[in-house]
Structure 1
Amino acid sequence: MPPSEDRAQAHTLEAFAAAILIVAGLTFALQATAVTPLSASTSNQHLENQQRAVADDLLETSAANGDLEDALLRWDPVNETFTDGRSPSYFTAGGPPNAFGEALNATFGERRIAFNVHIRHGSDNGDETTLVDMGSPSDNAVTATRTVVLTDDANLTAPGHGNTTLRALSNGSEPGEFYAADAAVGAIYDRMEVRIVVWQL
């Protein structure tokens, strides 16, 4: 066989081998998992831990200075809403217009972190009322909780209802209803669990 034919066959085999390598590389690349900003990683885990710690600190501080209790009591019993008679009965664009809401907005909203706030109450905290709903949390959402004890003589903080106590609503001496029923014996009205869920937008 002439040397030119040998070289031609060698070039053909090299081209064939190169094509196989290219196809194999593309197949591997397509099957590989894409890395996105929301993929699990050490940095994302660190960010989630940081957000959880911030949410815990916010709840602790707000509970200590009374802002959290004030937010739980910002209820219009006649219209049965947190939002001064507007619909829906919860906030969707940020925190409520009080010190707790301002803390939520400053801590999370200004950093493009969405948050939901839910209040669990009743027997074994089996019932839930929404205070803030900014949407569906992502898979990377984190949660922080805090228990707040409301007493029978606690006054509502909603505009126009500041002289209404939980006891007065419970025994029917004031019109309307609180979102949580009196679930405790004695001077305690209920032990409410406040749950914050936060996630990066």
Structure 2
Amino acid sequence: MSGTDRGQAYSLEAIAGSVIVVTALLFALQSIIITPTTSSGVDPDVRKDLRAQASDTLVIVHSNETTDLSYYTRNWVPESRTFEGAQNPSVGYGTAVPPGIFGDILNTTFSQRSRLYNVEVLYLGVNATDDRGRVPMVYRGQPAEGAVTASYTVTLYDNQTLTSGKTGTAELWEYGTDPNSEAYYPIPNAVEGPVYNVVEVRLTVW
């Protein structure tokens, strides 16, 4: 073999070796990305970071002056018995996302990183002994082992209105909890005085 041929052979071997190394690195990176998604409980630090991201998401959304978490809990359409633009009462937005800033942040922070999440609204019952009710805003399945949860408490008031574009100016106290009614809103008037209800927006991520 001539010096030129030997040099070309060495070059091909070097290239082939580089390809193998790069392929191995890519595979390793994919494993790093996928593993926390499928089993977040493996690494406590991953769960800690994920919980912080979930908490920050709720804080950022609620700090919005026009479409805070109160806005999203009232973005309700009585006729469809779910949130405006949602798929159905059982899954809420399901595989879609809430409109506006909430959906944008959920998509960027979790969906684009192959994370799944559920968002639900928990509310007080009419009687003090009643269990809290739940309304699914986004349901994407049963949380995996190691899922993390963050929540934010929101106070609703009697004189507030629903925020969907398909409702009028009726105040919350004028709605009822009968799903067959044209004035259906599942969250009841459970608190005396100007407060309507105190709800918890809960975000679970895995």
Same fold (TM over 0.5): yes
Alpha-carbon shift at residue 155 of structure 1 (Å)? 1.7
Query: Which shifted more, 66-75 or 133-142?
Result: 66-75
- 2:111 matched to 1:105? no
- 2:198 matched to 1:191? yes
User: Separation in 2 of the partners of 1:126 and 1:94?
Assistant: 26
Which residue pairs with 2:76 in the alignment?
Answer: 75
- 2:132 matched to 1:126? yes
- 2:176 matched to 1:177? no
Task: Return the match for 2:169 from 163, 166, 169.
Answer: 163
- Number of residue pairs matched by the alignment: 161
Alpha-carbon shift at residue 175 of structure 1 (Å)? 3.7
Which residue pairs with 2:53 in the alignment?
Answer: 54
Three-state SS of the structure 2 residue aligned to 1:113 is coil
Q: Deviations over 1:7-60 (max 9, x none)?
A: xxxxxxxxxxxxxxxxxxxxxxxxxxxxx933854xx21111001001111111
Alpha-carbon shift at residue 68 of structure 1 (Å)? 1.1
The TM-score, its normalising length taken from structure 2, stands at 0.69
Q: Deviations over 1:133-182 (max 9, x none)?
A: 0111110210001100011111211122152321222599x941111110
Three-state SS of the structure 2 residue aligned to 1:145 is strand
Q: Which amino acid aligns with 2:159?
A: D
Q: Which runs of 5+ in 1 are unaligned?
A: 1-35
User: Separation in 1 of the partners of 2:186 and 2:177?
Assistant: 14
Query: Which shifted more, 148-157 or 99-108?
Result: 99-108
Contact 1:84 1:159 in 2 (8 A): no
Q: Which amino acid aligns with 2:162?
A: L
Q: Which runs of 5+ in 2 are unaligned?
A: 1-33
Three-state SS of the structure 1 residue aligned to 2:83 is coil
Alpha-carbon shift at residue 62 of structure 1 (Å)? 1.5
Structural RMSD (CA): 2.6
Three-state SS of the structure 1 residue aligned to 2:154 is strand
Three-state SS of the structure 1 residue aligned to 2:82 is coil
Q: Which amino acid aligns with 2:82?
A: T
User: Separation in 1 of the partners of 2:113 and 2:40?
Assistant: 20
In structure 2, relative to structure 1, the CA distance for the partners of 1:51 and 1:78 (3 Å cut) is same
Query: Which shifted more, 76-85 or 66-75?
Result: 76-85
Task: Point out the structure with max Rg over C-alpha.
Answer: 1
Q: Which amino acid aligns with 1:159?
A: G
Find runs of 4+ consecutive structure 1 residues off by over 6 angstroms: none
User: Separation in 2 of the partners of 1:156 and 1:39?
Assistant: 37
